[in-house]
Amino acid sequence: MKLPVIKHLLSFVEENDVDYLEETIETLESICEISSLKDEELDVIGELISNLYGAVEVQKTIAAGTPKKEALNNFMKRVLGAIDK
């Protein structure tokens, strides 16, 4: 996951709606079912999906009242903590 990408997606959500991200996730997940995709292509799509899910998760935290910066920091701590395990 890339924090700059998640921040950009959060800006997009602020201007539009989180539903756009959720629909994009569904679309990309559907594309992953194409049998002719190469591993490299699936890796790129997977990275995009991860960033989109991250932005949705952070947006939910912000909507619950957590300041944006704190929500981003907490999310990245959880991600890094999960990687370390």
Element of type H or E holding 62: helix 39-63
Tally of domains within the chain: 1
The confidence score (pLDDT) of residue 85 equals 58
The label of the residue with tokens 């201007």 reads 15
Tell me: the pLDDT tens digits for 24-72? 999 999 999 999 999 999 999 999 999 999 999 999 999 999 999 999 9
Range of the domain at 34: 3-84
Quick one: 52 exposed, middle or buried, by C-beta within 10 A (0-12, 13-18, 19+)? Answer: buried
Give this prediction's pTM: 0.90
